[in-house]
Amino acid sequence: MTDLSGKTALVTGSVQGIGLAIARALAGAGARIAVNGLAGDVQIHEVCEILRADGAPQAEFFHGDLRNPDDIERMMQAVAAWGGPDILVNNAGIQHTAPLAEMPRAQWDAILSVNLSAAFHTMRAAMPGMAARGYGRVVNIASVHGLVASKDKAPYVAAKFGLVGLSRVAALEYADKGSRASGGVTVNCLCPGWTETAIIEPQIAARAALHGGDRDMGIADLLAEKQPSRRTSDPAEIGALALWLCDPVAHNLTGAAIPIDGGWTAQ
């Protein structure tokens, strides 16, 4: 059983979806959770309550719109004053699908900001403290689209490939920090395939429309095209792997981009 008592984790975009599932896994191991994401007061309150019930000694919301580097800097200062982070999960992400020539310029800027640049800003602020403490975990939620491309996703694929590259650089720079006993400082990407959250709903709806609005047929269609297992992932499964990466036993697993994709990238 991984014990994260005494550790503080910042999970961006943890008000729903994969981020919430990761936050719940870390909370279950006793970590304090710094929650972030775009949500109203009621949702934020509910999420913090869930995390405390799961086992987090403290769960607090930290405002930060990840499109804005000044906002991120303020958020990182507030989290540092709260005591952390020992664990940084860059999970927040957005998507917009369109052919390259029709992709709105504003979507390119927003997707690159949230899915890539935000991770640079949070890691830049958090990693020196991890090195000083001899323990740190950066878990970046990339995607199969950090490893292979699909059409109509130019900014998303560019950002996720960039996130994999950024993570490898940081893994090298911090590889010799800490010790086996302290757990070291590692940086890895998780690369999910189709996972049932809000971000893929527009793509499910587009496929369902080809099958008379049948949602299950829409999902089956998406899976048949790319994901050989023909099963979606549950966000909790991504959370379980993120938790394992945070255990000191994973001190030598760094610089990796780990697919959780039912065989998508094995093809």
Task: Kindly tell me which of 141 and 171 has the beta carbon lying closer to ligand NAD.
Answer: 141
Q: Give which of 198, 222, 196 is closest to 209, Cα–Cα.
A: 222
Rounded to a whole number of angstroms, the minimum distance from the CB of residue 162 to ligand NAD is 13
Please identify which residue in 28, 84, 85, 93 interacts with ligand NAD, judged by CB under 6 A. 93
Contact indicator for 200, 20 with CB cutoff of 8 Å: no
Rounded CA-CA distance 157/161 in Å is: 6
Question: For residue 242, how far is the Cα from the chain centroid?
Answer: 9
**φ and ψ at residue 204, rounded to 5 degrees:** -65, -45
78 contacts ligand NAD (rule: CB under 6 A)? no
Is residue 121 involved in binding ligand NAD (CB under 6 A)?
A: no
- The H-or-E segment that residue 117 falls in is none
Smallest distance from ligand NAD to CB 19, Å: 5
List the one residue from 2, 10, 13, 147 that touches ligand NAD (CB under 6 A).
13
**Binding of ligand NAD at residue 123 (CB under 6 A)?**
no
**DSSP E strand boundaries for the chain:** 8-11, 32-35, 59-61, 87-90, 135-141, 184-192, 257-260
Token couple for 37 = 């994401």
Toward ligand NAD, which CB reaches closer, 18 or 87? Answer: 18
Q: CA 135 to CA 248: how far, in whole Å?
A: 8
Q: Tell me the closest approach of the beta carbon of residue 3 to ligand NAD, in angstroms.
A: 26
Cα-to-chain-centroid distance, residue 127: 17
Q: Would you count residue 67 as binding ligand NAD (CB under 6 A)?
A: yes
- Measured between alpha carbons, how far is residue 78 from residues 7, 16, 50, 71, 263 in Å? 16, 22, 22, 11, 40
Question: According to CB under 6 A, which one of 11, 35, 37, 185 is a site residue for ligand NAD?
Answer: 37
Which of residues 19, 162, 184, 218 is near ligand NAD by CB under 6 A?
19
Q: Which of 23, 35, 114, 242 binds ligand NAD (CB under 6 A)?
A: 114
Task: Please tell me whether residue 117 binds ligand NAD under the rule CB under 6 A.
Answer: no
Q: Is 200 in the site for ligand NAD (CB under 6 A)?
A: yes
Q: Does 239 bind ligand NAD (CB under 6 A)?
A: no
As given in the structure block, the two tokens for residue 175 are 């590889």
Closer of 175 and 241 to ligand NAD (Cβ): 241
Enumerate the active-site residues: 156
CA distance 191 to 156: 13
Residue from the set 197, 218, 227, 239 that interacts with ligand NAD by CB under 6 A: 197
**Residue 219 binds to ligand NAD (criterion: CB under 6 A):** no
Residue numbers at the binding site for ligand NAD (CB under 6 A): 12-13, 15-19, 36-39, 65-67, 91-94, 114-115, 141, 143, 192, 194-195, 197-200
